[in-house]
Amino acid sequence: GAVVSQHPSRVICKSGTSVKIECRSLDFQATTMFWYRQFPKQSLMLMATSNEGSKATYEQGVEKDKFLINHASLTLSTLTVTSAHPEDSSFYICSVPTGGGYTFGSGTRLTVV
């Protein structure tokens, strides 16, 4: 099956700094990728749809200026959490539609201190 790599797996940053998370589709060209956020013991909440070569589509309530998404190639999408605050601490996970459904990245646990 398809392989999706996500980095970093864990990151701790200071409040006010920015963090970049990468999602790579290693063996599948993805014109679309999805970014989800998962709080402890909660569901996967869709944040945005990353579109290769064009602007991302954000879900209602998600600040596009805070969560910057770049999808410059068919194999890489990045999510940058800008000016991070403790409430941004969460598990961020990307997914790639691979024909037979989604393949998820391994997730990034972000802790903002």
Partner 1 sequence: GENVEQHPSTLSVQEGDSAVIKCTYSDSASNYFPWYKQELGKRPQLIIDIRSNVGEKKDQRIAVTLNKTAKHFSLHITETQPEDSAVYFCAASQTSGTYKYIFGTGTRLKVLA
- Determine, following the binding rule CB under 8 A, whether residue 32 of this chain makes contact with partner 1: yes
**Candidate list 15, 17, 42, 73; residue touching partner 1; CB under 8 A:** 42
Q: Considering beta carbons, is residue 16 or 27 the nearer one to partner 1?
A: 27
- Determine, following the binding rule CB under 8 A, whether residue 105 of this chain makes contact with partner 1: yes
Which residues are bridge partners to 97 per DSSP? 102
Q: Pairing state of beta strands 32-38 and 108-112?
A: unpaired
- Determine, following the binding rule CB under 8 A, whether residue 99 of this chain makes contact with partner 1: yes
> C-alpha distances in angstroms, 100 versus 2, 51, 59, 97, 103?
10, 19, 24, 7, 9
x-or-dash string of contact with partner 1, 3-22, rule CB under 8 A: --------------------
Q: Would you state the structure tokens that stand for residue 112, as one six-digit string?
A: 């903002």
- Determine, following the binding rule CB under 8 A, whether residue 62 of this chain makes contact with partner 1: no
Binding segment for partner 1 (CB under 8 A), chosen from 17-25, 69-77, 80-88, 96-104, is 96-104
* Buried b or exposed e, range 43-75, using 16+ CB within 10 angstroms: eeeebbbbebeeebebeeebeeeebbbebeeeb
- Determine, following the binding rule CB under 8 A, whether residue 44 of this chain makes contact with partner 1: yes
